[in-house]
Amino acid sequence: MFLLNNHSYICVFKYCFYVIVIVKSILNISEAASIAIHSMAVIAQSEDLLNSHQVACKTGFSKNHTAKVLQTLAKYRLLRSTRGPGGGFRLGRDAQDISLMDIYRVIDGDLTENNCGLDCAVCPVRACIFGGLEQKFTNEFRSYLMSMKLAILPAVRKTARVGSGERVLEEAGR
């Protein structure tokens, strides 16, 4: 690192801090969204109904937080719940019809536009250093979530519980 004085060091540190903040926010997945996506994958690959305790044990997330997320997914009909002893959750529709974006939106809403962490009024550079990179990452992530269906996730490919029946999915993708 070639720094001439303390002011230069502060500027470089500030720049690096904003790069870290932008990279961290590129994926912008909350713990709840992560619980939702992982839980849906676990439920999709199960032949039996799974209750929130079982899902939490398989995913390693908090039992209470998992229960809350699963109830939200059921409210928006991505999951169906059965009450009582032997009850639990199953997919609300075919795994091929559920994208990761469907799951993400239920929990976190639409992806927000990511912009540079510096306020343009205080930025010492005339053109954005990142050149719209944050937006490109967001668009790429959005595209991935929209195209990735629950049924083609590696953990779900072999079998996925669909509604009240079971569908065998080919290892080739669908």
Share of the chain above pLDDT 90, in %: 49
> What residue ranges do the domains of the chain occupy?
6-168
pLDDT value for 119: 57
CA angle 106, 109, 115 (to 5 degrees): 155
More confident residue, 122 or 35: 35
- Alpha-carbon distance of 50 to 30, in angstroms, equals 23
The sign of the torsion formed by the CA atoms of 89, 95, 100, 105 equals negative
The DSSP call for residue 159 is: E
pLDDT value for 77: 97
Is the domain spanning 6-168 CATH 1.10.10.10? The answer is yes
Q: Does residue 167 have a pLDDT over 50?
A: no
pLDDT, tens digit, for every residue of 68-122?
999 999 999 999 999 998 899 999 999 999 999 999 999 999 887 666 655 566 6
E-strand spans in the chain? 79-82, 88-91, 159-162, 165-168
Residue 143 in contact with residue 76, Cβ under 8 Å?
A: no
CB-based burial label for 91 (10 Å; 0-12, 13-18, 19+): buried
pLDDT value for 18: 44
More confident residue, 153 or 21: 153
More confident residue, 43 or 137: 43
